[in-house]
Amino acid sequence: MPEPLIEVDALTKEYRVHERAPGVVAALASVLRRKYKIARAVDALSFSIGAGERVGFLGPNGAGKTTTLKVLSGLLHPTSGTVRVAGFDPRRREHPFLRNITLVMGQKQQLLWDLPPADTFILNRAIYDLPEREYQETLGELTELLERGDLAERPTRQLSLGERMKCELVAALLHRPKVLFLDEPTIGLDVSMQVTLRDFIRRYNERFGATVLLTSHYMDDVTALCPRVIVIDKGRLTYDGDLQALAHRVRPHKRVRVRREDGREETVDVPQSELKARVTQLLAERGIADLTVEDPPLEEVMRELFMEKRTTT
Amino acid sequence: MRRYLRLFAVQLRASIELALQYRVDFFVGGAMALFWLFWNLVPMVVVWGRRPTIAGWGFWEALLVVAWFTLLRGVLEGAVQPSLVQVVEHIRKGTLDFVLIKPADAQFLVSTARFEPWRGLDSLGAIALAVYALHRLGRVPAPGEVAIALLLTIAACALLYAFAILVVSAAFWVVRLDNLIYLFNSVFDAGRWPSTVFQGAWRVLFTFVVPLALMTTYPPLALLGRLKVSTAIAGLAGAVAFVTMARLIWLRAIGHYTSASS
């Protein structure tokens, strides 16, 4: 494994949240006397990621993914534990550290709303103090990778969500960061746009050797991009390793689909050990038009993983 | 330093582009700026129309104060408040994160985010008013007096900015800021009157708590040759202290934001 670029050791992040019962009386009482409860968003989380890796960060809503990304990018301070990214302590937010990272949030945008994206690019160029030649070169390369065309000339508010997201990525990558934190970068996009962005992220990773940590609700993103996944639930590490191995562990079945000549379709889940025998048997039957063997969709794997976790704890 | 100057130029350019983007807004903006310039004169014309002097201030002397009030209101509404409104938006929408992960001073980035170029007309109008008032008074200020007035004006701009930073810092704890901005604007409005017009607690308030006296009364006094040097120095020192305090509170507020938000 290459030298770790991101190291997280026993990271815990707690929030103090104000809680009260519903209703006016309770609201009034809470003004006078506040009750606080400690919510633990991340709980003794440890992992490390090597330079150039693409890692998927998975977990149900509220698992602590975004909190972890924010700690890694220096926006939140850990309650305890240590974090190092590219040799820096993110919480200090030193400029050399910030020059090395980028954060893309699918739900939030940094583009100036009323001006064309090109203006945001120029602003970022000034902020990162990029020499003109390097800036033009990177912009050209990113534009080419994204097949972005002349989107940058129209005001951001006139662009579609997908077009906007493309420009968000360009704005976030102009300084050629070594570490990419991507929080739901494809959210709300149609399938073909998801594919475009996915390809782009992979190509950026390959061309610049950047490290990518990605959260997504679309399992296809993860399957297509991330050989390795880190799964957390309720702030705790549930799984860290190869994506395929995880699928096999949780769902040791293969899914066999059969289409008969009369048009009927059947799907059966077959344990790995019985697969050969079962397929042979099916093929020997009459009237089979088509037969495919596939892994169960990752969505199902994840659902099962979290269910399993819930019932055992 | 050069980098920040360039950054400032880029931000300013974006604001100008924005002002030019909507044609109707562009013309309305210009017309409004002119309107405010004249509207500022109405209260004093009404008040001085009935008596020749108030607390020792004649009409043309008071007009100098109005000129400084106009100038500073242009700075406040043209350069300080627009950015302030943007930060509050950032905090509400959570997009301040994008500002905080940039390798540049966050306070600089947020406070130069937006300008209203039209308010530059206020400054031009203010200078014209001041020149005309001095002409009517038949007074040509000595170079030293002009220098002191300039220094005090720079201090006044810095004070306005520091106030804005304090308001923004408050936004990290309190979400609704409209009232705070409204309150500040109402208080600032008292700056159109010479500070010695106010008495007792009001004068203390406008001299030390919200230093309107320094902003709009001291520079005209300097031009009229009636400001004591010691008062000018005390005013400048106060401004430096105030700006430093605002910076410290801002840094604390950012610390609070990063450790508390989700």
- Per CB-CB distance under 8 Å, the chain B contacts of A31 are none
Distances (CA, A) of B236 to A2, B129, B222, B230, B244: 58, 25, 13, 10, 12
Name the residue ranges covered by the structural domains of chain A.
4-247, 251-312
Q: Test A102 with B101 for CB contact under 8 angstroms.
A: yes
Rounded Cα gap, residues A16 and A130, in angstroms? 40
Q: Which of A307-311, B83-87, B161-165, B204-208 has the lowest mean pLDDT?
A: A307-311
Reported as a pLDDT band with limits 50, 70 and 90, residue B258 is low
Reported as a pLDDT band with limits 50, 70 and 90, residue B143 is very high
Rounded Cα gap, residues B235 and B211, in angstroms? 9
Looking at residue B241, its pLDDT comes to 94
Q: Which residue from B minimizes the CA distance to A73?
A: B101
Looking at residue A148, its pLDDT comes to 62
- Once rounded to an integer, what is the mean pLDDT over residues B117-123? 86
Rounded Cα gap, residues B162 and B156, in angstroms? 10
Reported as a pLDDT band with limits 50, 70 and 90, residue A267 is confident
Q: Is the dihedral of CA A172, A99, B4, B260 positive or negative?
A: positive
- Once rounded to an integer, what is the mean pLDDT over residues A32-49? 89
Is A280's pLDDT higher than 50?
yes
Reported as a pLDDT band with limits 50, 70 and 90, residue A313 is very low
Looking at residue B121, its pLDDT comes to 85
Looking at residue B53, its pLDDT comes to 87
**Exposure b/e, A93-125, CB count within 10 A at least 16 = b:** beeebbbbbbbbbbebbbbbeebbbbbbbbbbb
Looking at residue A82, its pLDDT comes to 95
Looking at residue B260, its pLDDT comes to 53
- What does the mean pLDDT of chain B come to? 88
CATH of A4-247, one of 3.10.450.50, 1.10.630.10, 3.40.50.970, 3.40.50.300: 3.40.50.300
The percentage of residues in chain A with a pLDDT greater than 90, rounded to a whole number, is: 49
Reported as a pLDDT band with limits 50, 70 and 90, residue B200 is confident
Tens of pLDDT, residue by residue over A198-245, are 999 999 999 999 999 999 888 888 989 999 999 999 999 999 999 888
Residue A156, both tokens: 């951001």
- Per CB-CB distance under 8 Å, the chain A contacts of B10 are 122-123, 126
Amino acid at residue number A256? V
- Once rounded to an integer, what is the mean pLDDT over residues A193-201? 91
The shortest CB-CB distance from A128 to any of B17, B98, B103 is to B103
Q: Which residue from A minimizes the CA distance to B260?
A: A15
ipTM of the complex: 0.85
- Per CB-CB distance under 8 Å, the chain A contacts of B173 are none
Looking at residue B131, its pLDDT comes to 95
The shortest CB-CB distance from B259 to any of A76, A115, A122 is to A76
> Helices in chain B by DSSP H: which ranges?
2-21, 23-39, 42-48, 59-75, 81-93, 96-100, 106-111, 120-137, 143-171, 178-188, 200-204, 212, 218-223, 229-260
Rounded Cα gap, residues A47 and A278, in angstroms? 40
Amino acid at residue number A153? E
- Once rounded to an integer, what is the mean pLDDT over residues B161-179? 81
Q: Test A110 with B95 for CB contact under 8 angstroms.
A: yes
Q: Which residue from A minimizes the CA distance to B104?
A: A127
